[in-house]
Amino acid sequence: MQLITAQTGPEGKLVSKVLVAQDVYYPGESETKEYYMSVLLDRAKGRNIIVYSTEGGMDIEHVAEHTPELIYKEEIDPLIGLRPFQASRIAYNLGLSGVAMKEMSKFVTALYRAYEETDSAMFEINPVLKTSDNQILAVDAKVNLDDNGLFRHKDYAAMRDESEEDPMEVEASKSNLNFVKLDGNVGCMVNGAGLAMATMDIIKIAGGEPANFLDVGGTANAQTVKAAFNLILQDPNVKAILINIFGGIVRCDRVAQGVIDAYQELGNIRVPIIVRLQGTNAVEAKKLIDDSGLQVYSAILLKEAADLVTKVLEEQA
């Protein structure tokens, strides 16, 4: 079936697998209790932090907004790691005692070890369940692996399920493109995440909506740009494309050649293209595009690029 939930969005998600799990809410249910627990990095302090609450099984943002006093935090010194007294303090703050407290302390210790050994960016267990016979179980979990650590965990990379990912984002990763699909009408191709964010702002100011975040990176060449171009054009909602390249490491003429190659290969491209190339070899890049005979709009300033976006959108309205 096509499952539609708040997480999938209105387009839904095709169900391809079903997980059958053990029922842990067995007799004595009145004695069970759900908790929230996560481990993540506090970038401001440079320390790992365990966030936990007695209010498990619900959205932690809702708890933070309405009952922030029920959220606890335990900072972990990365040079020392989680100390036994910290695990015990977490169990105590959750209101546990006796066997349940000992089991929770062991659970917290194992959770933190798993977070560190897997090079994860986040472990979120919601809910952590105390059963009626004082077992502590992870009933549901969300784990984000740090891509930068995957070279140490090739077995994890092999478990990747591309059917659960956006096909366009999968294709982008194969070309080493940083790509996130959005719901707008203006495709953008940029080098550098900061410039990409600024470009998306410019598109909004111009009256459009970004159709994607796409950073071709600092080592982009004609082949990379061609792959990015093909990716953007797969989106039927795209009404215009803004290419905004500041040539520092990347050479503007390579980007221009990639645009020309893609344009010629694809033939009749249905959407107008606005190109802004500044920096290394920008003059050569402009000449390449001007001599190519392509139907593209050329801009020097970011404001000019924004005005051209407005113009082409109004012409299509």
Same domain, 171 and 216: yes
Is the same domain home to 135 and 217?
no
> First vs last Cα of the chain: how many Å apart?
37
Q: Work out the pLDDT band at 81, boundaries 50, 70, 90.
A: very high
Task: Enumerate the β-bridge partners of residue 34.
Answer: 129
Q: What is the predicted pLDDT for the residue at 221?
A: 67
pLDDT band at 73 (very low <50, low <70, confident <90, very high): very high
pTM exceeds 0.85 = no
Same structural domain, 127 and 172:
no
Distance CA 89, CA 293 (A): 71
User: Do 195 and 297 belong together in one domain?
Assistant: yes
Length of the chain: 317
For residue 218, the domain's CATH number is 3.40.50.261
Band of the pLDDT at 262, cuts 50, 70, 90?
confident
- Residue finishing a domain among 157, 191, 210: 157
Let me know whether 153 and 210 are in one domain: no
* 189 and 148 in a common domain: no
Amino acid at 267: G
Give the per-residue pLDDT at 11.
Answer: 81
pLDDT digits (tens, 9 = 90+) for 48-58: 999 999 999 87
From the candidates 35, 36, 115, 297, which is the catalytic residue? 36
Whether residue 7 is contained in a domain is answered as no
Strands 273-279 and 296-299: parallel
What is the DSSP-derived secondary structure letter of residue 132? Answer: T
110-to-35, 116, 130 alpha-carbon distances in Å: 16, 10, 16
Q: How many structural domains comprise the chain?
A: 2
Domain match, 150 and 183 both: no
Predicted confidence band of residue 273 (pLDDT cuts 50, 70, 90): confident
Active-site option among 72, 116, 124, 156? 124
Query: Are 310 and 174 members of one domain?
Result: yes
Task: Looking at the structure, tell me whether residues 190 and 242 fall in a common domain.
Answer: yes
What tens digit of pLDDT does each residue of 133-168 get?
899 999 999 999 998 898 999 898 888 888 877 788
Active site residue 92: no
Same domain? 153 vs 183:
no
What is the DSSP-derived secondary structure letter of residue 30? Answer: G
Burial class (CB in 10 A: 0-12, 13-18, 19+), 105: buried
Domain range for 241: 167-316
Q: Is residue 24 part of a domain?
A: no
Domain assignment present for residue 8? The answer is no
**Statement to judge: residues 172 and 152 lie in one domain:** no
Query: Is residue 263 annotated as a catalytic residue, yes or no?
Result: no
Look at residue 110 and tell me if it is in a domain.
yes
Q: Per the domain annotation, does 22 fall within a domain?
A: no
Structural domain contains residue 12: no
Q: Percent of the chain at pLDDT above 70?
A: 96
Residue carrying the six token digits 């139907």: 295
Instruction: Extract the tokens encoding 3.
Output: 């499952």
Which residue, 136, 157, 178, sits at the end of a domain?
157
- 204 and 124 housed in the same domain: no
